[in-house]
């Protein structure tokens, strides 16, 4: 499967715990985006990363949320001290390097986070 991979698919955390969501982009893609989908809501942009760089984090809450995309390994979205309002589906998308049709983003299956 050469698509965008996300794991875990389902994650249950108690309030105050940390959640780590992982995303492996499609082969050859170097741009990664994270979106959050709340119940009955559309997808909301959170952060856009390239390898080792955060390009745009304008959609990311200032507190408790962080993201990285290291030189090696998957992109990580980290949520510290989770609260019930963090319960949502988190989707990762990837697109090719600049100059190779970056207009389209391909989405992974999502991680569904439930905070008890």
Residue 12 binds to other proteins (criterion: CB under 8 A): no
Return phi, psi of residue 84, to 5°: -60, -35
Among 25, 48, 60, 67, binds other proteins (CB under 8 A): 48
Q: Contacts with other proteins in 68-97 (CB under 8 A)?
A: 91, 93, 95
Only segment of 17-25, 69-77, 78-86, 103-111 that touches other proteins (CB under 8 A):
103-111
**Six token digits for residue 21:** 């969501």
Collapsing DSSP to helix, strand or coil, 116 comes out as coil
Among 64, 66, 112, 114, binds other proteins (CB under 8 A): 112
Least distance from C-beta 105 to other proteins, angstroms? 6
Instruction: Give 21-59 as a 3 state SS string.
Output: EEEECCCCCCEEEEEEECCCCCEEEEEEEECCEEEECCC
Residue 103 binds to other proteins (criterion: CB under 8 A): yes
Nearest to 23 by CA among 1, 38, 8, 44: 8
Give the N- to C-terminal CA distance of the chain in Å, as an integer: 33
Least distance from C-beta 44 to other proteins, angstroms? 7
Binding site for other proteins (CB under 8 A): 4, 6, 31, 33, 35, 40-45, 48, 55-56, 58-59, 91, 93, 95, 102-110, 112
């Amino acid at each position: 499967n050469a698509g965008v991979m996300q794991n875990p698919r389902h994650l249950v955390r108690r309030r105050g715990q940390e959640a780590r969501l992982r995303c492996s982009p499609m082969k050859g893609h170097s741009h990664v985006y994270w979106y959050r989908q709340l119940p009955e809501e559309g997808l909301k942009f959170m952060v856009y990363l390239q390898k080792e760089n955060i390009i745009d984090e304008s959609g990311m809450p200032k507190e408790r949320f962080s993201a990285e995309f290291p030189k090696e390994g998957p992109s990580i979205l980290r949520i510290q001290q989770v609260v019930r309002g963090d319960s949502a589906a988190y989707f990762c998308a990837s697109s090719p390097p600049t100059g190779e049709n970056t207009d389209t983003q391909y989405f992974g299956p999502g991680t569904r986070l439930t905070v008890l």
